[in-house]
Structure 1
Amino acid sequence: MNVISTICILQKPLTIEALTKFTNNNASDVVKSLNAVLYIDSEKKIRCHLSFQEFILDKEWPKRRTGKGPYQFYLNVEKSHEDLVFICLRFMEKQLKFNICHLESSYIANEAVENPDMMERAQSEISEELRYSCESWVYHACAAEENSKCWVNITSFLKSTSMVYWMECLSCLNETSQIRTSMDYLTKRTKISEIMRGSEDISKFIRAFFLPISHSTPHLYVSALPMIPKKTWLAAHIRAHLKEVVKMSCNEYWKGEIYEINVGAEVDCVAYSPDGKQIVSGSRDNKLKIWSTETSLPIGEALEGHTDFVTCVAYSPDGTQIVSGSKDKTVRIWSAGTGLLLGEPLQGHTDCVDSVVYSPDGRQVVSGSSDCTVRIWSTETGLPVDGTQVVSVSFDNTMRMWSAVTGLPIGEPLKGHASWVSSVAHSPDGKQIATGSNDNTVRIWSAETSLPICEPMQGHTHWITSVAYSPDGTQVVSGSRDNTVRIWSVETGLSIGEPLKGHVNQVNSVAYSPDGKHIASSSTDHTIRIW
C-alpha cells in the first residue's frame, strides 16, 4: 500500500516501524524524501502538514491540472480505506489471542495488576499495529464504499472468536467503552443486515456488562459471556466457538432495560444532556450527579450546595449549564463542565421548587413551586425577563398557560383530569401538551384550543409522576408510582408494547435521549435505569 496515502487517511499517526508493516514498504525512505511536508513528532509518530493532507485528499485537484502527464499523487480514498480494513483484520486475526496480557486471576482488578502492571503488559504484548487495528478498523470500514468487498470479511470477523479477543484486547487497553462506540457507529453506517444485527447485539452486550469487563478483563469470560441471553445473535454465533466458557441458565433475550445506575439515594429527577452523552440526576441526599451514558460511571464529583432534596433538574440547550430546583426553596445554576455553582442561588419561592426548565435560547429559566407560583429568571442576572408562554400544573386538577410577559393566564384552564395534575410536557413543535395526573391517566391537549386531542391514556395503576415527549413528537413516555414506565402513541392514544418493569419502587422521573432511542427513568429505589 502507498505510504503517503496511508499517512493521509490514518485515524491516528503511527511510528515508522508500524507504518512499514501496514504498507509493506520502507516508510523511512519516504519520510526522508518528503521531510518538507512530513515530520516525526515527540512520540516518534509520523505526521503530515495539514495543507499536504488536504492536497492529497482533494478529489478535484487532478481535474484542475493543466498538464496532461500522469498524476502521481492520485488517491482513491474509499479504496485506500478498504485496503486498510483488510490489513487491520489480518493483523487482528494473526495476533489476537486468549489472555493476551497473561492475567493470572479474575479476582484482581485491572488497575491492581502488578509485576508488571497492566499498562506495561499491554505495551509488551499488544503491538502498535495490533492496537491501531483494534481501535480503528471500524473507522476505515465506514469510510469505504458501501459495496466494498471488506464487508464480507467483517461479517466473518464478527462471528469469530477473534471478535471476542478484540473485546478482550480493548479491555486490557482500558478502552472497553470504545467497543460500544465502534459498534454503534457501525450499526448506523452499514446497510448489511447481518452486520447490523451483530453490531447491535455486541453493543447491548457491552452496555449490560461494561462494569465487570472494564473492571477486570477476565470477567469477559467468567461473568459476561456465560450470561448472554440464549436466543440472541451473540449466543448463536459466538458460544459455539467458546466451548470452554461455562453456560448458565439465563434470559432468552436482552431485557428492555439496558443498564442500571446505582445512585446511592432516592432519585427524584433525571435529565439527558443535549448530545445524549450524559445524564444528570437529583436525589434526596441533596446532591446532583452527572453520569456517562456510555459507561454508566459518574463524571467528576457530585454537585453539592442544596440543603434539602433535589427535586428537579434540566440541561441548558447548549449543554454547558445545569439548573436544579430543591425542597430548600432555591433554584441553582451549575457549570456542566466544572460542576461549580454559577452565581448565587435564585431565591424567591416560599416552598419546594417542583419543576425547572430552560427557555429555547438558554437565557431564561422557568421554575414552578408548591407555593403556587411560576417564576421566570434570567440566567445572567436572576431578574424577571420577557418570554412567550409558560405552562403550569396544579393540585386543583387543572393546567394553565401563562404569558411570560404580562404574567396573566392565556385562555381557560385545561380541565379533564379527575385528580391532581402532577406533570406536564410540551411537544417538540409546541402544538401539543401532555399531562400526567394522580387519576392514573395521561392526556394529550391542543396548545391552541386547550381541548383534549384523544381519549385518556389508561394503563397505569397508580399516580403518574412524570411525562415526556419523544424528540419526534410521536410518542409520550410516562413514569408512575406503580413502579413502571409506559410508552404511548400520540396518534392512537394506545400503549406501545408492555410496561417497562425493573424498578422496585415508584418511578419519579422519565426522559428521552436526544436521538429518541433510549429512555432514562429515576426511582425511589436509588437507581437510574436506561431502557
Structure 2
Amino acid sequence: MLPTPSQIGQLAQRSGSLFIYAATLSVLSLTAESTKKHAEIDVLYTAILRSALEEAQMEEHEAEDVKLVLRTVLFAQEPISVETIAVLAGLDSPQRVYFALQLLRSVLHQSEDTKLVSTLHASFPDVMLSSDRSEPFFCYIVNHSKRLAERCLAVMKDQLEFNICKLESSFVPDDKVEDRGGRIKQPISPTLAYAFRYWVNHLTLAPRSDALLKWTRAVM
C-alpha cells in the first residue's frame, strides 16, 4: 500500500535531524514495488522499536509503558485520545502516554487538529501482527484484547448510570430532545463512548476467562 502525498509530506516535515523519519519516508515510498519490500520495512520497524524500547536511560517500568501504549493504539478500533489510551492501558497519568508517544513518534501519529492518536502508516499493523515479520516485538492480539475488554468493561461499570443524559421523559423522541448533542457530550466522556461502542469487539477477540465473565455480569 503506497503512502498518500499528504503522508509523504508529513513524514518529510517531521524528519528534521532525525534519520529514522527519513528512513521511514524512503522505505515506504520506494519499496512498494520492490521484491524486498517486506524485508526492508520489517527491518526498519524493528530498528525503530528496538531504539524505543532499549533506550539506555529508560527504566523497566517505562519500557513497559511504551509497550502498553503501542499495543493499545494498535488494537484500538479507531483513533483515540491520550486520556483514553491512559485508561485503556491502565496507566495512571496521561504524562506516561506522552512519554511513550515521544519514543514511538516514527510509527504512531497524533493529529494536530483532533489530538487523536493512530498508527502513522497502514504497513505498521501488518508487520506487528505477523509473528514472522515482527519478532521479538510481535503483538499477540488475543492477550491484549483481554486487557482492552476488561478496561472497557471497567469504564462502563464506573461511569454508566441510569438516565445519564438527564432526560425529563423517556417518551420524547430523540429528534425532539432539546440540546441533544450537549446532553450527550457533557456526561459521556470520549473514553466511555469508546468503551460502550467497542467493548464487544475486544471481548470477541479475547480468550474466554472467568474474570471477563465476572466483569460482563457486573456491567449487565
TM-score (norm 1): 0.27
CA shift for structure 1 position 148: 3.3
Matched, 1:156 2:217: yes
Counterpart of 1:135 in structure 2 is 197
Structure 1 contact 101–125 (Cα < 8 Å) conserved: yes
**2:190 is equivalent to residue 118 of structure 1:** no
**Residues 136 and 124 of structure 1, relative CA distance in 2, 3 Å threshold:** same
Asked if structure 2 preserves the Cα contact closer than 8 Å seen for 1:5 and 1:56, the reply is no
Which one of 10, 33, 37 corresponds to residue 103 of structure 2? 33
Do residues 8 (structure 1) and 78 (structure 2) align? no
Letter in 2 for 1:118: R
CA distance in 2, matches of 1:137, 1:106: 26
Query: What RMSD over aligned residues (CA atoms) do the two structures have, in Å?
Result: 2.0
Mapped to 1, the partners of 2:86 and 2:134 lie a distance apart of: 28
Structure 2 counterpart SS, 1:152: helix
SS in 2 for 1:39: strand
Determine which of 124, 127, 131 is the counterpart of 1:55: 127
Instruction: Give the conservation status (yes or no) of the 8 Å contact 1:85–1:137.
Output: yes
Q: 1:153: Cα distance to partner?
A: 2.4
CA shift in 2, pair 1:155/1:131, >3 Å: closer
Give the drift of 1:4.
0.1
Whichever residue aligns with residue 156 of structure 1, its letter is: R
Counterpart Cα distance in 1 of 2:115 and 2:210:
34
**Quick one: higher RCO (CA 8 Å, sep 6+), 1 or 2?**
2
1:89/1:46 CA distance change after superposition, 3 Å: same
Deviation digits for residues 147-196 of structure 1, max 9, x if unmatched?
33454225524xxxx43xxxxxxxxxxxxxxxxxxxxxxxxxxxxxxxxx
Question: Is it true that 1:45 corresponds to 2:116 in the alignment?
Answer: yes
Q: Distance in 2 between matches of 1:91 and 1:102?
A: 20
Deviation at 1:78, TM superposition (A): 0.2
SS in 1 for 2:118: strand
Question: Is the contact made by 2:87 and 2:151 (CA closer than 8 Å) also made in structure 1?
Answer: no
Tell whether the 8 Å contact from 2:78 to 2:118 is kept in structure 1 after alignment: no
More strand as a share of residues: 1
* Matched ranges for 1:356-367 at <5 A: none
Aligned pairs (5 A) from 1:100-499: 100-114=164-178, 117-145=179-207, 147-153=208-214, 156-157=217-218, 162-163=219-220
Per the alignment, residue 365 of structure 1 pairs with none
Q: Give unpaired runs (5+ residues) of structure 2.
A: 1-64
Does structure 2 retain, via aligned residues, the 8 Å contact 1:85–1:150?
A: no
Contact kept in structure 2, 1:39 and 1:47, CA below 8 Å: yes
Q: Which runs of 5 or more residues in structure 1 are unaligned?
A: 64-70, 164-531
* Structure 1 runs of 4+ with >4 Å offset: none
**8 Å Cα contact 2:81-2:116 kept in structure 1:** yes
The residue aligned with 1:468 is none
Decide whether the 8 Å contact of 1:141 with 1:150 is kept in 2: no
